[in-house]
Amino acid sequence: MKLLLVEDDRAIAESLVSGLRADGHEVAHVSTGADALAATGYDLVLLDLGLPDVDGRDVCRQLRQRGSIPIIMLTARGDEFDRVLGLELGADDYVTKPFSRRELAARIRAVGRRVQPNHDDGASTGPSNGGDELIVGPLRVDRRSRRVHLHGDELTLTAKEFDVLAYLAADPGVVFSRTEILERVWDVNWYGPTKTVDAHVAALRRKLGDHHWIEAVRGVGFRLEAPP
């Protein structure tokens, strides 16, 4: 994967570039928001918020207005408000410094799975994973506005319920383990019970009105498909 790293701290940038290249990625590094907006030819952006020329949140907003390239924010701001604001501006994920190389690698893999393009012959009725709107039968999940509609009616979901649903809807029919869902929706270093996922799936089933929307695969995890 070709990554664009936007980070003004030279020491952090050098460490990240070295680690990411060791993981097999191509990495281009820029240190300002202006250079980030001028860059091209990348598959995913790792965006620091504390840039010297432009607020990283403004860079995120402008990048999102241009297209659906995935963005992972890197920041020392760990407050829930900042996390929510970053996601509302269009970021696909949010990693708080300090973070481990293993955590960042997992986040990149998770976001990559969600946004990789569909390589079928175009006949699939599933969502286009690179877009902001995921469509599975009568279900529409808009990742930018964080709204969900079923048969045209809007559903009221909690933040975590939305994140779980969007993660499953990005690849309908694919089984995701509880651990994968926890790593993507909660945190790669989650130490709580995996039954947390089950509780949120149960709530989603109630709101979707049909438990067939989300199938439990015994001993593995869950998959989302439109009911027959």
Pairing state of beta strands 176-177 and 214-217?
unpaired
What is the DSSP-derived secondary structure letter of residue 67? -
pLDDT at 6: 96
- 76 Cβ partners below 8 Å, 6+ apart? 50, 96, 97
**Is the bond leading into 98 cis (omega within 30 degrees of zero)?**
yes
Model confidence, pTM: 0.54
- Which residues neighbour 28 within 8 Å (Cβ) at sequence distance 6 or greater? 2, 3, 4, 5, 39, 41, 42
Give the rounded distance of the alpha carbon of 191 from its chain centre.
20
* Coil, helix or strand at residue 53: coil
**Nearest to 179, CA basis, from 165, 166, 195:** 195
DSSP assignment of 3-30? EEEE---HHHHHHHHHHHHHTT-EEEEE
Q: Which residues have C-beta within 8 Å of that of residue 79, sequence separation ≥ 6?
A: none
Residues 87, 106 contacting (CB under 8 angstroms): no
Q: What is the pLDDT of residue 84?
A: 66
pLDDT (0 to 100) of residue 28: 96
Residue 55 gets which letter from DSSP?
A: -
- Which residue segments constitute the domains of the chain, with CATH numbers given? 2-115 (3.40.50.2300), 133-224 (1.10.10.10)
Written as tens digits, the pLDDT of the chain (228 aa) is: 899 999 999 999 999 999 899 888 999 999 999 999 999 999 999 999 889 999 888 999 899 888 778 889 887 765 555 666 666 677 878 888 777 777 888 888 877 765 554 333 333 333 344 457 899 999 999 988 889 999 999 998 887 889 899 999 988 889 998 888 887 787 555 545 557 788 889 989 999 999 999 999 988 899 999 988
- Cα separation of 55 and 62, whole Å? 11
